Amino acid sequence: MRREIKSEKLWLLRRLHGHDGFTLIELIVILILFSVLVLIAFSIYTNNINKAKVTVAENVLSQTRENLFLYNIDNGKYPDSIDFNDCLDENGRVVFSPTFCDQLRNDLDSIESYALDAQGYVVIARAKDAKHTLLTVTPTKLTK
């Protein structure tokens, strides 16, 4: 008897609110809206990750500039060439520490070139973001 009264109350509440459940159309609309929200969130997330990867590459290249400045102070000139596999110059002298050399390989997609010019040097590298952003560092500035 008690169970019948309870189910009658629930049935009455559902009838008063006008719903017996969700229709298939309502569920499809909710799924579509949820999918759109997930896509927007994923897009924002990947954009932030890509910006972070470019920032990391910029910081590594700033440290590269500082290391080359110290090399210039120690040796009186910038290296003519750098082997970025072991970070040694043309005479076998250490340009970057092994730890920093590993950091260069891990945080940059590639180092396109190193060359001496009238201002000192130019290092061109690519970030690990989706666009492989090209970064250039000289003794005075870092550009994207």
pLDDT 10s digits, 77-86: 999 999 999 9
Enclosing domain of residue 101: 2-143
Q: pTM, whole model, 2 decimals?
A: 0.75
Residue 32's Cβ-count burial label (10 Å; 0-12, 13-18, 19+) is exposed
Task: Kindly report the number of other CB atoms within 10 A of residue 61's CB atom.
Answer: 22
pLDDT 10s digits, 62-80: 999 999 999 999 999 999 9
Give the number of domains in the chain: 1
